[in-house]
Structure 1
Amino acid sequence: MDWQSKAAIGNIVDMIRSSVCAIAENTTISQQQKTSFRTSEAIPAWVAKFSFVPPQETSIQRMFFGVIDKYNHHGCPYFRPQHTEIVLEWIGPDKSFEKNSTSTNYSETDKYHHMMQGLSGSGTVFFVYGGAFYMNRQANYRKIVSQLSSKTGLPCVTVDQRLAPQHPFPAALLDVFLAYMALLSPPPGSPHPQIPASSIVIAGDSSGGCLALGLLQLLLEIKRSGITSIKCYGRNIQLELPAGLTILSGVADLTNSLPSYQLNAKTDVFPLGPPPSSLPGFPCCEIWPSKPPRGNVYCETEMLCHPICCPIMAEDWTGAPPLWFASGQEQVIDGIKIVAKTASSQGVEVIFYEYESMPHTFMWVLSESPQHQKCWDDWIEACMMLVKGASPPSRGGFVEVLGLTTKHVKIEELTHLTAKEARDLVYKALRAFPVFVGQPHAAPKL
């Protein structure tokens, strides 16, 4: 395979697109979801899983929904999820791993301590996994997360996310928020100590990147409201921001309405137009259409312009920690470019890499490519730099196929699209967004 040939890469992307589109357009949401629930292969890593009851302090719930409600400008009725069990999974390398061995003789606490003994770094990576908000479980990402832990020397942790359409926005975000709180203030029975926010790097890919940015925007809004501390699991803690975010193939617009969705169709893998699951003729199942019907698998249609749900709509990133982005030449890249451009203009340190001809999540799906290796190397460097408190100067780069040469790009020139123009396109898309009932239906009135 010639990874310096755009044509050769294009042939692979075409094959991936054919498979992705066939599934996305013709398979029920329930079947897509079930198929994604697979058990992880045996990996050379300690995996320690802990389940906790959510914090009982009602102030946490009020704080969370206070932010959601503040920016619900259309007064949209939405699903208000309850606190549920928090399931954290800690992952780190097992240097004595044998493929056919079993660790069932170890308690989860023993596994955690064995994991920590094999790590040299100081800090934690909180990885928020993707899956279009309705697919995947923690097990799907164990291999990726264990590799990240092994290469950085840092413990990594994931949280089990509730999935749409059964649990629409903001259920998954609440899970991510409560997991972050549990790192700052461990629940009873936790093996981990209190972890300073300044030692936590949040990482996310695809829709997980959207959730990570939503969490950051939530925390920023809480700080803007004057709240600096809160009681969680019986102790008062400072509600601080993480050391930084690393976002891979991030999603920041959920309407598919920005120019890159059409312009980068040949270098990416998704169907053109609105999500197939919102179009008449899409196969129905027991979980979709939802009850009552809505236009998007993840959320109510009006919530697609909510700044916590859809980060491109967030206007203020002032005070955010450093942000590191890596994306292919993707259909969804305009949204994440707007976030990067806006944050940088407000004093946030931003690093942004775009990889020529690479599709969505190429760092996972094209694992034999040199682009995969370069992206991983840069990602590891970013994580280690952030946990040390380093604040790198902003920079952008377009990584060319030929020779992996990085062409410098100013952050303010990542896209000629302005934030206002992008938001106007989102609002325009919402006016025509159909409610999916399994047959043609009138668009909602905003």
Structure 2
Amino acid sequence: MAEPKPGDGVTKAAKARLALLWTVLPKIPSVIRVVLLHVLKMSEPSRYLDLRENVIVSFLRSLLDQPNPQPISKTQRMTLRDPGIKGRIWISKVSSQVPPEESIRDVLLAAIDSSKGQFVAADGICRVPDIVPVEAEWTGYRAHASPSSELPAIPEQQKYGEMMKECSSDVTILYFHGGAYYLMDPASHRPTTKRLAKLTGGRVYSVRYRLAPQDPFPSALLDAFVSYMTLLYPPLEQSTRPSMPPIPAGGNLSLALLQTVLEIRRRGLKVTWFGHEREVHLPAAVAANSPWLDIVQSMPSWTTNQKWDYLPRPRDLADIKQPKDAIWPAKPPRKHLFIDDDFLLHPLACLQLNASWERAPPIYVCCGWECLADEDKWFVSKLVKDGVAVVFEEYEAMPHVFAAILEKAPQSTRCFDGWAKFISQACGSPQEIRSSFTTIKAKTMKEVDINVKNLSPFTEEDLRRFAFDRVGRKSSFPNTPAKL
């Protein structure tokens, strides 16, 4: 192996800075325009956001809405870089064991088959993913460290033990990072998991599930299910088992896991897990932050809320123009990065199409005035109709997952506090959780009650029509005409 040449590190750093410069330079005119409109109070966002927030959202929007996108593999690779572990955080890296039985996959596939209804053609065949070890990071708050502290050079199990010494509650959060199923990693979400651990006094199990397009649906869902069972019934390390079922948190995957568990329980199924037949218990609660439910991006807010968000405008599913690389287009070809065409509207992917959430545990949902607002508000109204306790918080004028993007905004502090408060209460006294629906005003932070009856104007027929129209299919449901 060749020895590194002097200056190699500097050269790489210089190249990275140059690449960043070339990314930023073309955006300067649009940033200047945003600043001028904001200062002159001539833009609607300037009425709700401060200048810094407005510039960040606008810059992200211009960065993500590229007319000539780069290859999927390059974008994915950039988001998987590990920045290293420093500061007031414990990280203990682990990997689940593969059970000797295939029962967990068989039960998942049975749940997928029994819940597909009329959303999947009768001859549609679901992929059968391998059962693999699923990596994760135990995360805890390291109170006595400094911002520059590194983790001690001790075995991972010892790191876990040191982390547990600092936990002051029984909270266990099963965290699934965002990234539209093809980006990001537990490493990119450490600021969020550390903050949740600090605020709850508990621990976070952050899962490195398989990503699309290499591993499409239902690979991530199987990894989530394996991780959930690993916490419920640890094969060897019984000390890692939570005192009560963990609380899935994140977005689509946390709710897909919940709906999977509900379907398994509806059918009375059990999982053979390391030699024992195990019941699949419901989680203690689910805490979803800006959850993506409508994966085909069919609801109106994906267009009408563009001025408040940085997410790019939906593209026609038949016209995804990504540069070719080793992982895209998929083989055989499909329209969506995450899922095969036949399963685009499966209710375990397009979660807004589920017929029922009855008997679900308490659920927390927050969102802003983002592109996902319609689906999130519909979901909350559906939970209420199904008799589920739900805490909903809407943040005026905020973009998608704003608490992670606008870390210094007071709304972000309020969001983390509300998120963590719900999780702690769900672990301590879930019976005391009462449904609430609140708007948090942008500049005053005033909290205003929402009439849940007026939360969503859409019917279930509307949602089916939106979704079927979006994928160019004719609905097989009565009274739901779709475009041909």
- 2:255 equivalent to 1:213: yes
- 2:383 equivalent to 1:343: yes
Give per-residue Cα distances to partners, 1:322-381, cap 9 Å, x unaligned: 111111111112112222211210110111111111111100001111111111111111
Hey, what does 1:284 align to over in structure 2? 324
Within 5 Å, give how 1:21-36 maps onto structure 2.
Answer: 21-22=65-66, 26-36=69-79
Hey, what does 2:403 align to over in structure 1? 363
Aligned counterparts of 1:145 and 1:366: Cα–Cα separation in 2: 16
Aligned counterparts of 1:99 and 1:355: Cα–Cα separation in 2: 30
- 2:229 equivalent to 1:181: yes
- Relative to the length of structure 1, the TM-score reads 0.90
Which residue identity lines up with residue 216 of structure 1 in the other structure? Answer: L
**Is the CA contact 2:213–2:328 (under 8 Å) kept in the aligned structure 1?**
yes
Q: CA deviation at 1:219?
A: 0.3
Hey, what does 2:248 align to over in structure 1? 202
Q: CA deviation at 1:99?
A: 5.3
Within 5 Å, give how 1:67-216 maps onto structure 2.
Answer: 67-72=111-116, 73-74=120-121, 75-98=123-146, 102-103=150-151, 105-188=153-236, 190=237, 192-196=239-243, 198-204=244-250, 209-216=251-258
Give per-residue Cα distances to partners, 1:118-150, cap 9 Å, x unaligned: 111013111111111001121111221112111
Is the partner of 2:65 in helix, strand or coil? helix
Give the 3 Å change call, closer, same or farther, for CA 234–414 of structure 1 in structure 2. same
Give per-residue Cα distances to partners, 1:71-93, cap 9 Å, x unaligned: 34313234311100121211112
Aligned counterparts of 1:4 and 1:431: Cα–Cα separation in 2: 38
Please, which runs of 5 or more residues in structure 1 have no aligned partner?
Answer: 434-444
Q: Which deviates more, 54-63 or 147-156? A: 54-63
Aligned counterparts of 1:382 and 1:402: Cα–Cα separation in 2: 24
Hey, what does 1:437 align to over in structure 2? none
Aligned counterparts of 2:89 and 2:150: Cα–Cα separation in 1: 12
Q: CA deviation at 1:412?
A: 3.2
Is the partner of 1:357 in helix, strand or coil? coil
**Is the CA contact 1:315–1:342 (under 8 Å) kept in the aligned structure 2?**
no
Which residue identity lines up with residue 195 of structure 1 in the other structure? Answer: P
Hey, what does 2:105 align to over in structure 1? 61
- 2:427 equivalent to 1:424: no
State the aligned residue count. Answer: 426
Instruction: Kindly report the root-mean-square deviation, in angstroms, between the aligned alpha carbons of the 2 structures.
Output: 2.3
Q: CA deviation at 1:64?
A: 0.7
- Larger relative contact order (CA 8 Å, sep ≥ 6): 1
Hey, what does 1:312 align to over in structure 2? 352
Whose Rg is larger?
2
Please, which runs of 5 or more residues in structure 2 have no aligned partner?
Answer: 1-37, 40-44, 475-482
Hey, what does 1:241 align to over in structure 2? 282
Give the 3 Å change call, closer, same or farther, for CA 280–318 of structure 1 in structure 2. closer
Q: CA deviation at 1:40?
A: 3.0
**Is the CA contact 1:230–1:238 (under 8 Å) kept in the aligned structure 2?**
yes
**Residue among 281, 288, 295 paired with 2:335:** 295
Identity over aligned residues, as a percent?
30
Give the 3 Å change call, closer, same or farther, for CA 315–214 of structure 1 in structure 2. same
